[in-house]
Amino acid sequence: MGLIRLCFETHKGPLLSMAQVSLQGGQVTSWRNEKGEELLFTSSKANFKPSKAIRGGIPICFPQFGNCGSLEQHGFARNKIWTIEEITPPLQPNDFNRKGCVDLLLKPSEEDLKCWPHSFEFRLRVLLGVDGDLTLTSRVRNINGKPFTFSFAYHTYLLVSDISEVRIEGLETVDYLDNLHQRERFTEQGDAITFECEVDRVYLHCPNVIAVLDHKKQRTYVIRKEGLPDVVVWNPWEKKSKSMVHFADEEYKQMLCVDGAAIEKPITLKPGEEWTGRLQLLVVPSTFCDEQFDL
Ligand code: TA6
């Protein structure tokens, strides 16, 4: 079957930003700014073969985040081939005057229903805005006869110039579950999160706007989320990188995962109910960030 990639661009004057989505996993695999600079990390060892999770971009973790449930790590959605759905009526005002929008659909196969016996429709809209911002809107509808419960994450691999020169603002004093300490609960002490070793945490009930400052590139990723109370922060650092599949040993220096997620309190949908989880990514010059976002 091979991979089908969709490219769509928006024009802002002479400039061009671009996003690319793979039907494999319904996964954004590239997002570039108007200078053509890549903003998402994808491993040089990434495997694009069907039913393999692509190491990079924005994999969708559904219907399970992590490996605490009966399913494979991070669920099956990221290993599935999604279909393109004709552009449905706009979700938000002005949706249509923004070029660069695609709607994808995932429904469970007979095989999926054997391991997760719940009928659902998962609609994913990927929208590239005129400011080069990228918005992912997930809508999961229960078309099952009985309620079901799931957890979720946009497993966002941000491309950074040097992980030791990156800081996250907006998670100060927030509680987190530390996956490196049996999910023990701690409270974030620092005034900003910086990186000097492996980090694998789920921050709980977080503010809906956080920022990732890449000092060297003088750029800031502003992450806005809706319907996603939690934020996963992950960098495998040196040792873990060596044991990971589809990942080169030194690549931990150029990536940081900051995921909008719903993990601590899984979502339960009754028959006919629909859940929406939205993530908007915007890149601004760091100087702009301090003034605009009172983080
Ligand atoms: O997001 C954190 C995490 O759950 C880590 O524990 C690490 O396993 C990472 O996801 C990547 O998972 P993957 O299955 O893509 O190798």
Most confident of 88-97, 100-109, 280-289: 100-109
How much distance in Å is there from the Cα of 61 to the middle of ligand 1? 10
Residues in contact with 173: Cβ distance below 8 Å, sequence separation at least 6, in sequence order: 187, 188
> What mean pLDDT do residues 172-189 have?
97
- Note the pLDDT tens digit of each residue in 183-228: 999 999 878 999 999 999 999 999 999 999 999 999 999 999 999 9
Model confidence, pTM: 0.93
- pLDDT band for position 253 (cuts 50, 70, 90): very high
CA-angle at 92, arms to 141 and 87, nearest 5°: 65
CATH number at residue 107: 2.70.98.10
**106, 124 in Cβ contact below 8 A?**
yes
Q: Determine whether the shortest distance from the Cβ of 164 to ligand 1 is under 6 A.
A: no
Q: Determine whether the shortest distance from the Cβ of 200 to ligand 1 is under 6 A.
A: yes
Q: Is the pLDDT of residue 124 over 50?
A: yes
How much distance in Å is there from the Cα of 66 to the middle of ligand 1? 7
Q: Determine whether the shortest distance from the Cβ of 225 to ligand 1 is under 6 A.
A: no
The domain total for the chain is 1
Q: Is the pLDDT of residue 96 over 80?
A: no
Find, among 198, 214, 201, the residue nearest to 158 by Cα: 214
Alpha-carbon distance of 253 to 65, in angstroms, equals 24
Alpha-carbon distance of 91 to 99, in angstroms, equals 14
Neighbours of 156 (CB within 10 A): 28
Model pLDDT, residue 9: 55
Residue with the smallest CA separation from ligand 1 atom 1 is 234
- Note the pLDDT tens digit of each residue in 64-80: 999 888 899 999 999 99
What one-character-per-residue DSSP string does 102-168 give? EEEEE---HHHHHHS---EEEEEEEEE-TTS-EEEEEEEEE-SSS-EEEEEEE--EEE-S-GGGEEE
CA-angle at 93, arms to 88 and 95, nearest 5°: 50
Q: Determine whether the shortest distance from the Cβ of 53 to ligand 1 is under 6 A.
A: yes
More confident residue, 9 or 248: 248
Alpha-carbon distance of 74 to 131, in angstroms, equals 31
**106, 125 in Cβ contact below 8 A?**
no
- Note the pLDDT tens digit of each residue in 192-203: 999 999 999 999
Residue with the smallest CA separation from ligand 1 atom 5 is 200
- Note the pLDDT tens digit of each residue in 15-57: 578 999 999 999 999 999 988 999 999 999 999 888 889 999 9
Report which secondary-structure segment, H or E, holds 290. Answer: helix 286-292
Q: Determine whether the shortest distance from the Cβ of 231 to ligand 1 is under 6 A.
A: no
Beta-strand relationship, 27-32 and 15-22: antiparallel
Ligand 1 atom closest to the Cα of residue 179 is 6
Domain containing 216 equals 3-293
Alpha-carbon distance of 284 to 59, in angstroms, equals 23
**109, 81 in Cβ contact below 8 A?**
no
Q: Determine whether the shortest distance from the Cβ of 292 to ligand 1 is under 6 A.
A: no
> What mean pLDDT do residues 227-233 have?
98
Residue with the smallest CA separation from ligand 1 atom 13 is 73
Model pLDDT, residue 90: 47
How much distance in Å is there from the Cα of 155 to the middle of ligand 1? 9
Q: Determine whether the shortest distance from the Cβ of 56 to ligand 1 is under 6 A.
A: no
More confident residue, 97 or 63: 63
Cis peptide, bond prior to residue 89, ω within 30 of zero: no
Alpha-carbon distance of 236 to 200, in angstroms, equals 7
Q: Which one-letter DSSP state was computed for residue 47?
A: -
Model pLDDT, residue 95: 46
Q: Determine whether the shortest distance from the Cβ of 257 to ligand 1 is under 6 A.
A: yes
What average pLDDT does the chain have?
A: 90
Q: Determine whether the shortest distance from the Cβ of 144 to ligand 1 is under 6 A.
A: no
Ligand 1 mutation pick, 41, 61, 74, 179, max ligand atoms within 8 A of CB:
74
Q: Is the pLDDT of residue 156 over 80?
A: yes
Token reading at 14:
């002479």
Which residue has tokens 């039907």?
A: 23
Report which secondary-structure segment, H or E, holds 240. Answer: helix 237-243
Which residue has tokens 């750029």?
A: 219
Token reading at 47:
């495997």
Q: Is the pLDDT of residue 99 over 70?
A: no
Q: Determine whether the shortest distance from the Cβ of 67 to ligand 1 is under 6 A.
A: no
Q: Which one-letter DSSP state was computed for residue 61?
A: E
More confident residue, 131 or 263: 263
Q: Determine whether the shortest distance from the Cβ of 232 to ligand 1 is under 6 A.
A: yes
